[in-house]
Amino acid sequence: MTKLRPIAVALAVAALVAVAHAGEPAKGKTLIPRDVLFGNPDRAAVRLSPDGKQLAYIAPLDGVMNIWVAPAADPNAAKAITHDKGRGIRSYFWAFTNQHILYLQDKDGDENWRIYSLDPRSGEAKDLTPAKGVQARIQEVSEKHPAEILIALNDRNPQLHDIYRVNIETGDKKLVMENEGYVGYLTDDDYAVRFATRVTPDGGSEVLERTPQGEWKSFMKIGQDDSLTTEPTGFDKTGQVLYVIDSRDRNTSAFATIDLKSSKETIVAEDPRADISGVLAHPTEKTIQAVAFTYQRKQWKILDPALEADFTYLRTVTDGDFDVINRTLDDKQWIVAYEMDTGPVRYYQYDHSAKKATFLFTNRKALDGLPLAKMHPVIIKSRDGLDLISYLTLPVGTAQGDTARPAQPLPMVLYVHGGPWYRDDWGYEPYHQWLANRGYAVLSVNFRGSTGLGKQFINAANLQWGGKMHDDLVDAVKWAIAEKIADPKKIAIMGGSYGGYATLVGMTFTPELFACGVDICGPSNLVTFMEAVPPYWKPILDMFVARIGNHQTEDGKKFLMERSPITRVDKIAEPLLIGQGANDPRVKQDESDQIVKAMQAKKIPVTYVLFPDEGHGFARPENRLAFNAIAELFLAQHLGGPAQPIGEDFKGSSIGVPSGAADVPGVKDALPKS
């Protein structure tokens, strides 16, 4: 599936008999081990080489994710071609040489990505961006220039990414465009810089076109209301037709084309309920063949009649929502992935000519046959009439028929997504499965500000961090109580990034609603959060100001502090668990340190877990397992569900617990002895 190119950075899963909290028996309940849910997948990111002769994927090697390559005709003959022993490799792609793989890697979560070029035949990797403290991004890859790519690099100015043309065989690079203050550029298959985007003082944006003389002229002005739902995304084969995701003059973003000679815009596809969520383009002709919209579940709209037979067949192959994730240049072979809610992702190799799909493997074989729970899409009304697209998972055996209602209220975890410019979707979700397996109802809510549901829904969140965005979560909890899904005395709130902030807001703004909270890298002080954004976010800071608040004026600071959990620490009445990566460039460690120190000063108990080799979230499976082991015991302690003992889940982790280790049963004794 063709990726949509963003114009701004988005704030941006054998059975075991377990024991319950406090050492009580789990009454025979069989729990799915955490390492099955949160350990490394068997395989991920499956890709055919452009010529279709080789198949690559990411898989564990000695417990660390590395790149493996096999002949496409014999996937079982795969061999590891990288030998990383640290954080693992999470992002890669084939170069059009068919002889190189490019991958990205940072250090301990600092998000200063480096780009490496690897020759699978020799195993030799070349660091194309070796400068320290610099962030590299992939700008453009084209079959017209197989040995070269465009990258964006902030080596000259930490706030701005210049465009370079790099030879992936030699490492030689040449400056193409020095950034004069733009968020980013749109380039074409000939590696020409065609458009630039900048954020305007009101939080909107402006797209500028580069003239043949090398000057910039205004091409498109995008108001603040449309800034997260409108953007140019690429070109057709001729380079004379611009593809645009456009919400101007409508609520949801449509897929449109603009003839660059006549300036005529044509709407190609739209849905009144949801924004464009995916685009499928021909690998060489660049024609848009299908687009996806996701309201409750993903739906494809076919634009090219030649794909009708393919999609009709692919819908019969297996259950779930599918994506075409990879196609060879000759379009004869595809990789298709099927997402399900009660099982692993299923990968197929599809022979486009023969219209036949061959099963390859799943991403997590250990999930097969386990008691996984269905995810139910539900629509909850907010107090001011918005439809909150939400997802509810109940423990296996508790739902009454198809009603998605248990026989009696259950302990519940409100699991809040990050972003906030992101969204929850239907499908297999390890946290939902984990928590439901432990006996909890799990509810995820696309609160206002979530993406994919139209600009009115996103813009309803402007200046509403800790305001109406939190009201939506409260309304969802009250709905779950009214529907007799949730036991009102046993509700936890949990999330990471914005979800971590929402957790802190829940514990300080509406403490009577939650029995406990689990915050992962959430901002506690919106002023210091805004003041400490990474330098490469500075070009989009006006967008943050328009949507979160102004940290640069006294009135703005006062407003932000009113919405900051740090100012309401004395309201915390129930237990809180906090997890943080020491190298987080987005939400600095200081955000967690601040609230922990404030709670300690007021003698309010808090358990604080810190990982020195992590950034924004926990990438290393050893650290995920360690934190989730604590979280599981913590939730069991306060909600009453069963819990798997820590066992070996701290092994290999860098875990430290600066505060409150003794407050969660079993944690202090399991920590490594210094």
Q: Show the DSSP H helices in 334-489 as ranges.
A: 430-437, 455-459, 468-482
Residues recognised as catalytic: 497, 584, 616
Look up residue 414 and give its two tokens: 């409100």
Beta bridge partners of 276: 293
Whole-angstrom distance, CA of residue 570 vs CA of residue 588? 23
Distance of CA 436 to the CA centre of its chain: 21
Residue 4 CB contacts under 8 Å (≥ 6 apart), including other chains: 231, 233, 245, 276, 278, 279
Whole-angstrom distance, CA of residue 325 vs CA of residue 45? 9
How does DSSP assign 153-221, residue by residue?
Answer: EEEEETTEEEEEEEETTT--EEEEE--SS-SEEEE-TT--EEEEEEE-TTS-EEEEEEPTTS-EEEEEE
Whole-angstrom distance, CA of residue 7 vs CA of residue 229? 10
How does DSSP assign 529-543, residue by residue?
Answer: HHHT--GGGGGGHHH
Whole-angstrom distance, CA of residue 12 vs CA of residue 497? 8
How does DSSP assign 60-80, residue by residue?
Answer: EETTEEEEEEEETT-GGG-EE
Whole-angstrom distance, CA of residue 61 vs CA of residue 44? 13
Count Cβ atoms below 10 Å from residue 408 Cβ, excluding itself: 9
Whole-angstrom distance, CA of residue 273 vs CA of residue 455? 11
